[in-house]
Amino acid sequence: MNPADGDVYFNTPGVASVKWDQAAQLVMVEWEGWADSSEFKELLDAEIRALQQHRGSRVLADCRQQKVLNPADQERANKEWLPRALAAGLKRFAVVLPKSGLAEMNIRDALGKVPEAALKVAYFATVEEGKAWLAT
């Protein structure tokens, strides 16, 4: 994927990037490590902007390198980001699971609370598997 500069919504080396993948028609999140509270908020806001600008409905989060997030940040994401993302059109969310067992557990716990009628969530070992699921 080589998106145009206008399709990069967040890019902080060592943290993550958020881009619009034109070919796959989805928001691509690539984690590189850990995010502090302000970086995590910026990343989540970038996902919303990308969904809105492209009238997108799918997010692929490559969380393999993601570290454990601050529990308060995760809780805020559940309460604030999720309703905004759903309002922006999010319908399907593919997660490539982190190498960190604790980070994986936290992601599954947080997304497991979301009603399936509101958002379809699936977990994968590779980006390719996640893209294939989102394409169906």
Query: What amino acid occupies position 118?
Result: A
1 domain residue, yes or no: no
How many whole angstroms separate alpha carbon 47 and alpha carbon 85? 8
Per the DSSP assignment, residues forming a β-bridge with 120 are: 92
Mean pLDDT of 3-14: 82
pLDDT, one tens digit per residue, over 30-43 is: 999 999 999 999 99
Which domain, by its residues, includes 89?
7-135
How many whole angstroms separate alpha carbon 81 and alpha carbon 73? 10
pLDDT, one tens digit per residue, over 61-112 is: 999 999 999 989 988 898 999 999 999 999 999 999 999 999 999 999 989 9
How many whole angstroms separate alpha carbon 25 and alpha carbon 15? 23
Q: What is the CATH number of the domain that holds 125?
A: 3.30.750.24
